[in-house]
Amino acid sequence: MKDLTNLRQMNISEEIRRWNKVINNYPNRKSSACKFKINVDYILKNLCLECYREQLVSFLTMLPIIENDVPFEEADYILYMHPYARIEDASEFVLRELRFIDKYRKKDAEIIVLGKSANAERQLNGSIKNITFWGDHFAEKLGKRFGIDIKERYFVYDDREKHLAIWPVDGCLQKCGFCRRNYMDIKFESIPLEVIKENLDFIKKVAPEKMKHISLRAENLTEYGIDIYGEQKLDVLLELINSYDEVERFDFPIGLAIGEITPKILDALCNCKKIGDIYLNLETGSNRLLELIGKHHTNEQAISIYKDIKKYHPQADIHTTIMIGLPTEEIIDMYNLADLIVKAKPDYVFCVFYGNNPNQPLANLPQLSESLREYHLKILIKQLAKKVNFKMFFKYYRIFKNKSSKKTEKCKEVLKEDFIKAGLGAHYEDIIYFN
């Protein structure tokens, strides 16, 4: 069972400041006086603060270890991490870096691979010696190894966001065809309801004002409880949190799989106190493609769930992600997607291109060319321009990442004009600035 006894540390600003100090001082560091010679180059270099969970649950608790870092060539232990993205497979990069470290490390130095990058163990297949892989609870395992009392934290008051972030479950039991789940194992583990209650009671006692705004997060929240209770228990969890008078608002920024929202879970969501932001990913616009990518919902179910959420929480902002360029996608799918968006009425649509990767089953299907998927995007926008008659933010600023060709620039310009003409209520900066 997860040990949550260090719940006492709920404010993160101070730790973020320490973290920044470590990063800023990093190039000028001197050999540490610590009895263990630990190098963290590959944590600082690869650290992607995009991963809110790893940052708050694990990284910040690891600061006492990271602060004791020594230069690579002196190290007896080299800590390694890499944050994988949901649809981009970074395993080749991770393998390359681990082989590089293996080649240049000091004789007998141990490599310790942490978090999601520990999935490299299978691919390395014993080809690197003196290497340890800790995929889960790695901060605590490090603490034990180096004699520092470290506890991961699943209830963190984020004093920048002013919410209490709770991670009641880790992992996901699905294997959607576009997701890293197809090539990565992340242990599935829920926190028992009584432990969650114990923690909430504690927060209520010591800092009730910090319970006002709850941000419930997980890779797959809808599957909460399956490992412990043999069935989904998100509804019971929501009822529990809802029962605290101190709670005024819920956000669900990640982890609700539409196809796994049971009637009980839907009821519990509808009966929650005020919902601020809720993310429900439509993914694509036709039932054929949904089935192809392994999603368990249909367009009709998605529209019905969106309607219920809006009925009970008219103030809620519904966010969704859609993918363009899925294998076998046709122009008709863009028409269907536009129809779906018009019927479901999300407030925010985040549009990404499907990223093919050889480790996923979808890689065996015919892929769309770059120009074809850009054409699909254009069709979609034109359809939305004709049909959307409500306020909606359509973000696609990462879609042209790492591209600066004239053709891309031209495509961006055309899309921008389409948006402006369409008057979709899109956020102006998202149209202009493409990262």
- Interaction of residue 174 with ligand SF4, rule CB under 6 A: yes
Q: State the alpha helices, DSSP H only, in 345-389.
A: 370-387
**CA angle centred on 215, ends 170 and 24, rounded to 5°:** 80
What is the C-alpha to C-alpha distance for residues 413 and 337, in angstroms, rounded to an integer? 23
Query: What's the closest the beta carbon of residue 349 comes to ligand SF4, in angstroms?
Result: 17
- Interaction of residue 257 with ligand SF4, rule CB under 6 A: yes
In the complex with ligand SF4, which residue's Cβ is closer, 323 or 431? 323
The single residue among 96, 99, 175, 274 that binds ligand SF4, judged by CB under 6 A, is: 175
In the complex with ligand SF4, which residue's Cβ is closer, 9 or 174? 174
User: Buried b vs exposed e over 80-117: b needs ≥16 C-beta within 10 Å?
Assistant: bbbbbeebebbbeebbebbeebbeebeeebbbbbbbbb
- Positions 187 through 226 that interact with ligand SF4 (CB under 6 A): 219-220
Query: What's the closest the beta carbon of residue 119 comes to ligand SF4, in angstroms?
Result: 14
**Nearest alpha carbon to residue 172 among 185, 188, 183:** 188
| Partners of 395 in beta bridges | 350
The single residue among 10, 114, 176, 275 that binds ligand SF4, judged by CB under 6 A, is: 176
- Interaction of residue 179 with ligand SF4, rule CB under 6 A: yes
Query: What's the closest the beta carbon of residue 321 comes to ligand SF4, in angstroms?
Result: 10
- Positions 67 through 96 that interact with ligand SF4 (CB under 6 A): none
- Taking contact as CB under 6 A, which single stretch among the options 172-180, 205-213, 357-365, 425-433 is the one that binds ligand SF4? 172-180
Can you tell me whether residue 345 is helix, strand or coil?
coil
| Partners of 250 in beta bridges | 214, 275
**All residues at 6 or more sequence positions from 217 whose CB lies less than 8 Å from its CB, including other chains:** 52, 53, 165, 166, 167, 252, 253, 254, 255
- Interaction of residue 172 with ligand SF4, rule CB under 6 A: yes
In the complex with ligand SF4, which residue's Cβ is closer, 69 or 219? 219
Query: What's the closest the beta carbon of residue 172 comes to ligand SF4, in angstroms?
Result: 3
- How many residues of this chain bind ligand SF4 (CB under 6 A)? 9
What is the C-alpha to C-alpha distance for residues 158 and 160, in angstroms, rounded to an integer? 5
Residues that bind ligand SF4 (CB under 6 A): 172, 174-176, 179, 181, 219-220, 257
